[in-house]
Amino acid sequence: MSVLRQTSPTFCGAAAANGNVQGSSVCVQEHLVQAIDLQDVLKADSQDPVNLDVLGHLIAAQASLHHQQYRGTKERLRRLLTNSGNTVRGFVLYAEGMGPAGFAIYYPMISGEGKRISYCEDFFVVESCRGHGIINQIFHELAKRTLEEGSEYLEWSTDARNDAVLKCNEKAGAKHPNIVTLSATHLLSAHDESGGRDPLSSIWQQVGGNFSTGGEVVPNLRTYLLEARHVDHTKPLGIDSNIIRQTGDMPFKGFITFENGRPDPVAIVLGSLHLSTFKLEKGIYLENPVIAEGVDQRAVVLSVVDKMSQYTRKNPLGHAKWHVSEKNEQMLHLLKEELGMPVDTMDGSSASELLLFRLTNGSLRKIAANEPDRVLRINPSASIGARNHLVR
């Protein structure tokens, strides 16, 4: 719905809505905002106000803010969202009589503690709608959905240069969980076809290992994809076996490593499939390794890297990221210094480090319980500008 109201140009927010301000008047429109689920966006045709083309324009607008270029097409975006290997969720906020005001895309992941969480890949507010409470509606919708889907908390990454979003994160109650995100993309191709090229040759030699063709890459260690058959093997390492049962909609759950002669695993690296909407590619997130006492961390990590490379050959991936606790100095040194994993950034510069943020269960409940104002109040010229920006 759209309602014209007279108010002061100085008070375009709540004061104007109350109708009790004085001064020269301009027209302000009120637009009811609703959340259009991603599945409905995927089903929409070109005549619908919110369709896949509109979502593509929103993603492109967000990418430009991050100095990135979106080269997607409608069909490529559709394939990524429907065949990502994960259950992708999301929504577009649509202001009636105006157009889309923002969007969010998220999906389930497994945390390093072995809990089901939700990870928000993107959230974005159309430029002309900023400062009007749309971000509150996005956080409310994400919080409500995260709780309804049984996730323990919500995480996302923010460019360290994005002061506006950093302030929104703080206002929402999000905390940085002291986790460093490293890029492991260069290790996805640790093998060539012949198994002869080795970017980590010096480290392999230290543990007496060599390239694998599917067997034992490090002496006495074997790493497998973490699957339902391992449901009774996670407890010895302190990982609740329920995480296997609670993530049946996630085909990739990480890796599990056994040592010859031992019935219980010596290491688990939980993980999840990840997607980049900017690059339209799939990747994986690996979590902080859980390794039994007395087991060589270097050997375990190399065995996992080998298995990750094998997995990539059958399931092409464009990137890999590894979460590590800032307190785990030994693992950080191994991954950063010995395996050459740089801190994950938006554009390769140290200034654009991607910082992880988290909303805990308690914070999510507070946000979900605080119903936001569903009316967007904005002047007509801004409304037209936003609509034209998205359809050009």
DSSP per-residue codes, 282-296: EEEEE---EE-TTS-
Model confidence at 331, pLDDT cuts 50, 70, 90, reads very high
Is 90 exceeded by the pLDDT of residue 386? Answer: no
Among 228-232, 327-331, 367-371, 387-391, which is the least confidently predicted range? 387-391
Q: So what's the pLDDT on residue 190? A: 60
What is the domain class of 185-340 according to CATH? alpha beta
Model confidence at 374, pLDDT cuts 50, 70, 90, reads very high
- Mean pLDDT, to the nearest integer, of 134-143? 97
- Map tokens 């689920």 to a residue: 37
- 376 or 388: which leads in pLDDT: 376
Model confidence at 4, pLDDT cuts 50, 70, 90, reads very low
- Mean pLDDT, to the nearest integer, of 34-47? 95
> What is the SS3 assignment for 232?
coil
128 secondary structure, DSSP code: G
Q: So what's the pLDDT on residue 209? A: 52
In this structure, the number of other CB atoms found within 10 A of the CB of residue 367 comes to: 22
CA distance 134 to 99: 13
CA distance 191 to 237: 30
Q: So what's the pLDDT on residue 240? A: 87
Tokens of 116: 């089901």
Give the list of residues 6+ apart from residue 389 with CB closer than 8 angstroms, or none.
61, 126, 127, 128
- Map tokens 């509150």 to a residue: 136
Q: What is the mean pLDDT of the chain?
A: 84
Domain extents in the chain: 32-176+360-372, 185-340
Q: So what's the pLDDT on residue 241? A: 85
Is 80 exceeded by the pLDDT of residue 35? Answer: yes
CA distances from 244 to 239, 252, 338 (A): 10, 10, 32
CA distances from 334 to 62, 86, 179 (A): 35, 30, 15
Give the list of residues 6+ apart from residue 343 with CB closer than 8 angstroms, or none.
180, 181, 182, 183, 336, 350, 353
Is 90 exceeded by the pLDDT of residue 366? Answer: yes
Q: So what's the pLDDT on residue 66? A: 81
- Mean pLDDT, to the nearest integer, of 124-131? 92
Q: So what's the pLDDT on residue 389? A: 39
Among 58-72, 104-118, 172-186, 240-254, which is the least confidently predicted range? 240-254
Among 39-53, 73-87, 255-269, 320-334, which is the least confidently predicted range? 73-87
Q: So what's the pLDDT on residue 369? A: 97
Is 60 exceeded by the pLDDT of residue 29? Answer: yes
Question: Which uninterrupted H or E stretch holds 368?
Answer: helix 361-369
Query: For 161, phi and psi rounded to 5 degrees?
Result: -90, -10
Q: So what's the pLDDT on residue 199? A: 52
- 83 or 366: which leads in pLDDT: 366
Is 50 exceeded by the pLDDT of residue 128? Answer: yes
Across-strand partners of 103? 92, 124
Is 70 exceeded by the pLDDT of residue 9? Answer: no
The candidate with the shortest Cα–Cα distance to 83, out of 315, 319, 321, 322, is 315
- Map tokens 């480290």 to a residue: 203
Same fold, 32-176+360-372 and 185-340: yes
CA distance 386 to 73: 21
- For residue range 198-235, list pLDDT tens digits in order: 555 555 555 555 544 444 567 789 999 999 899 888 98
Q: Count the residues in the chain.
A: 392
> What is the SS3 assignment for 109?
strand
373 secondary structure, DSSP code: P
218 secondary structure, DSSP code: B
The candidate with the shortest Cα–Cα distance to 92, out of 33, 36, 32, 31, is 36
Evaluate whether 156 touches 142 at the Cβ level (below 8 Å).
no
Model confidence at 107, pLDDT cuts 50, 70, 90, reads very high
Q: What is the CATH number of domain 32-176+360-372?
A: 3.40.630.30
Tokens of 91: 């929504």
Question: Which uninterrupted H or E stretch holds 156?
Answer: strand 154-159
- 37 or 83: which leads in pLDDT: 37
